[in-house]
Amino acid sequence: MACRFGLGSVTYAQAAVNALSRRGIRSRLVKLAARESKRGCAYGVETDCNDMKKAARVLTGAGISFKEIK
């Protein structure tokens, strides 16, 4: 099952995908629907739900702010 992290821009989403990849976590950049973000237009990163906690630690360690979206 896939879970998502919401990020503020495509640039941050790309940085997140790269940071996760360096730590062996598979993910992909996704455009979020308006209902998934209070900002309207936003991007996110989708990864396996089993990797969410590890991915959150990686993103926090990389200084990348995110919102977890299930």
Instruction: Count each helix (H run) and each strand (E run) in the chain, helices first.
Output: 2, 4
pLDDT at 38: 66
Contact between residue 20 and residue 62 where contact means Cβ atoms under 8 Å apart: no
Is the model's pLDDT at 7 over the cut of 80?
Answer: yes
CA distance linking residue 42 with residue 8, whole number of Å? 6
pLDDT at 24: 97
User: What is the per-residue pLDDT across 12-63, written as a single tens digit (0 to 9) for each?
Assistant: 999 999 999 999 999 999 998 776 666 666 899 999 999 999 999 999 999 9
The CATH architecture assigned to 2-69 reads: 2-Layer Sandwich (3.30)
The ranges assigned to domains in the chain are: 2-69
